[in-house]
């Protein structure tokens, strides 16, 4: 977000987990760093004003995934970002963070653990593989892909086939970026 501000002089608004807005301290912290509640209304308001919006479709689930699932997209049934792009005729620009999945070594399903320990509050409890969740020193690299334009017409936002097809196109672009960058990291040119 800082690099985009530095290079383009445009702010980037990140969409945050809904649960963050239920905790006063977290809500204030998130708002201070340019995060807004990830509602359809907020996305439409920002995109209608030609703002840049950072969407992490996997949300917190991807952030606390176990090390066995590194560099895998865990989007589940999340299609809201695609519908928002179509509704507002905004391009989707794939952005991959290489190194972020190497920061921590978590084990197991943090959401299932949270359900057991916190009685279905929806709050994940990541478990580090070591005693403390000490981050590894890694070099973060952000790779921006080519913009993917939405299909013509905002009326396509409710067409399940078009929405699914566009999401698959975005997933494919991200997978390609990730695979290429991971191969480069070990000295293989694709």
Quick: pLDDT tens for 43-96. Answer: 999 999 999 999 999 888 888 899 899 999 999 999 999 999 999 999 999 999
Q: Let me know: does 137 contact 56? Beta carbons within 8 Å.
A: no
Rounded distance between C-alpha atoms, residue 187 and residue 138, angstroms: 17
Taking only the tens place, the pLDDT of each residue in 144-167 is 999 999 888 999 999 999 999 999
Residue with tokens 């608004």: 13
Looking at residue 26, its pLDDT comes to 86
3-state SS assignment for residue 64: coil
Q: What is the mean pLDDT of residues 117-126?
A: 81
Rounded distance between C-alpha atoms, residue 108 and residue 70, angstroms: 13
Q: Does the pLDDT at position 120 exceed 80?
A: no
Q: Let me know: does 111 contact 61? Beta carbons within 8 Å.
A: yes
Looking at residue 115, its pLDDT comes to 87
Q: Which residues pair with 14 in a beta bridge?
A: 35, 54
Overall size of the chain counted in residues = 190
Instruction: Record the pTM.
Output: 0.86
Q: Does the pLDDT at position 134 exceed 90?
A: no
∠ CA 175-178-179, rounded to 5°: 85
Q: What is the mean pLDDT of residues 102-119?
A: 88
Looking at residue 19, its pLDDT comes to 79
Looking at residue 121, its pLDDT comes to 74
∠ CA 1-63-80, rounded to 5°: 75
Rounded distance between C-alpha atoms, residue 104 and residue 12, angstroms: 25
């Amino acid at each position: 977000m800082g690099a985009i501000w530095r290079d383009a002089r445009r702010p980037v608004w990140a969409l945050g987990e809904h649960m963050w807005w239920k905790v006063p301290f977290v809500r204030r912290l998130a708002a201070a760093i340019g995060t807004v509640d990830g509602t359809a209304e907020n996305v439409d308001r920002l995109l209608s004003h030609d703002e840049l919006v950072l969407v992490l479709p996997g949300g917190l689930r991807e952030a606390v995934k176990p090390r066995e699932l590194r560099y895998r997209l865990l989007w589940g049934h999340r299609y809201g970002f695609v519908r928002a792009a179509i509704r507002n005729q905004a391009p989707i620009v794939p952005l991959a963070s290489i190194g972020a999945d190497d920061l921590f070594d978590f084990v197991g399903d943090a959401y299932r653990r949270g359900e057991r320990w916190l009685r279905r509050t929806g709050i994940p409890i990541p478990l580090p593989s070591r005693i403390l969740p000490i981050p590894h020193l890694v070099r973060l690299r952000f790779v921006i892909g080519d913009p993917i334009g939405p299909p013509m017409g905002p009326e396509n936002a409710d067409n399940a086939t078009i929405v699914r097809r566009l999401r698959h196109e975005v997933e494919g672009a991200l997978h390609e970026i990730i695979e290429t960058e991971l191969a480069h990291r070990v000295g293989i040119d694709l």
